[in-house]
Amino acid sequence: MMNPVSWLIFILICAALGCIAFIVWRKWIAPWRQVEDVITQIGRGERPRTFLMEGSAPAQRIGFQLEKIVGDLERRQKQIAKRESGMQTIFSAMQDALLVVDSNRRVILTNQTFRKLFDAPEISVATPLLEIVRDPTLDRLLTDAFRGDGPVRCELTLDASQIELHAVATRNESGEITGALVLFHDITELKKVDQVRRDFVANVSHELRTPLSILRGYIETLLDSPKTPREELTRILRVMERHSDRLELLVEDLLTLAQLESGNPNLQMGTVDLSSFLPEMVRDWEKKLTRKQLNIIVDVPPDLSPIRVDRTRLQEALYNLLDNAVKYSREHGEIRLNARRREGEIELSVSDEGIGIAKDDLPRIFERFYRADKARSPDKVSGTGLGLAIVKHIAQLHGGRVEAESELDKGTTIRVVLPSAM
């Protein structure tokens, strides 16, 4: 049996042990549990509510350090996100499609243009490229790029588009090839322009060659037979004159076209009163009109206010239209030269009752050198095929456009539409 004093001592010892245990728990166990919780939360990618550790000074110091580390980490993450979104903005603004693959031909990066081009709205990282594009040309290009001898290029046809591909190997810090970057540039328009240029050169050469070879042929004839009878000589000289006229016309039209298409067409804008300008212009045509007994009607509303145009260029355009109207009219036909105001526009038109233009030809008559069936023209006239291209250019230089309407064997109307406020 314990006496009361022993009980008291026992209780005091227990209380002392309890106090010690409490102090040890508060100072040495609780703070490290807190540290453990905080680290677990950081590990899960969460931001701990507090970094304040109760009790032990070392645990508190660790709390401060952890707060600093988390702060740094957050700042860095923000920087990375900002950089990433900047890169994404650049990539999505790129007109060219972009592809980065690793050396196993798995996709690392693509931009929006690439995904649109290959109709793949979502491409996850590490997708084998073959699952998106199955093209031997791209395959070969990558093989060449992986050799690491510098940038390589090739062309690819995708539906109706021509694509130029540029690829270069990507390397890590120690210089080993890690993959390749490929840029896809759409060159369809460039190719078209190039084709137009080639056609133009071919057409010019062809157009020049015909009269030149005829002239050369006759010159040889004259040299070989100096005693050609006078009558025959006159006939030959007339033919030569016709062909040299044609050559001159062609060169003139080519020069006009070249100037109109140059960056500096040098328009001399001025005020033109159509109600006096058009009748004046028609007066120069009397001879040609009477030769074919053509009747011309000029129709300009008297209240039509003057327009601002380059007078000489406008005259040139209407001259070409009248020239066609006369050329493609039958004898005793009628030609109308109209001017009228449309909504915010001025429309000038030349109509005839001539041979007309076939439906298939109509959309192409403003192309350079395009000529509809020559055999159908009344005088078997051969123009240069540049007249309407010149008209179109003049209209466009004034901010306007051209329109054509025609029915075979009934007649043709060509309109030059100009903005009225210039």
What would the x/- binding string for ligand ADP be over residues 264 to 303, using CB under 6 A?
----------------------------------------
Q: Residues near 368 by Cβ (< 8 Å), separated by ≥ 6?
A: 200, 203, 257, 385, 386, 389
> Minimum Å distance from CB 407 to ligand ADP?
10
397, 267 Cβ separation under 8 angstroms: yes
Measured between alpha carbons, how far is residue 2 from residues 8, 10, 13 in Å?
10, 10, 15
- Told to check if 256 binds ligand ADP by CB under 6 A, we report no
Q: Quick one: which of 35, 163, 412, 415 contacts ligand ADP (CB under 6 A)?
A: 412
- Told to check if 324 binds ligand ADP by CB under 6 A, we report yes
The H-or-E segment that residue 293 falls in is none
Size of the site for ligand ADP (CB under 6 A): 21
329, 288 Cβ separation under 8 angstroms: no
> Minimum Å distance from CB 307 to ligand ADP?
23
| Residue sitting closest to ligand ADP (CB) | 383
Query: Which of the stretches 59-67, 152-160, 216-224, 380-388 binds ligand ADP when contact is defined by CB under 6 A?
Result: 380-388
For the chain, the residue count is 422
Q: For the chain, first and last CA: distance in Å? A: 124
How far is residue 112's CA from residue 89's CA, in Å, rounded to a whole number?
10
Q: Quick one: which of 387, 394, 395, 416 contacts ligand ADP (CB under 6 A)?
A: 387
Relative to beta strand 334-342, strand 295-299 is: parallel
Q: Quick one: which of 63, 333, 354, 400 contacts ligand ADP (CB under 6 A)?
A: 354
208, 250 Cβ separation under 8 angstroms: yes
- Told to check if 142 binds ligand ADP by CB under 6 A, we report no
- Told to check if 31 binds ligand ADP by CB under 6 A, we report no
> Minimum Å distance from CB 268 to ligand ADP?
24
Q: Quick one: which of 179, 211, 385, 400 contacts ligand ADP (CB under 6 A)?
A: 385
How far is residue 150's CA from residue 140's CA, in Å, rounded to a whole number?
15
Residues engaged in binding ligand ADP (CB under 6 A):
320, 324-325, 328, 352, 354-357, 365, 370-372, 383-389, 412
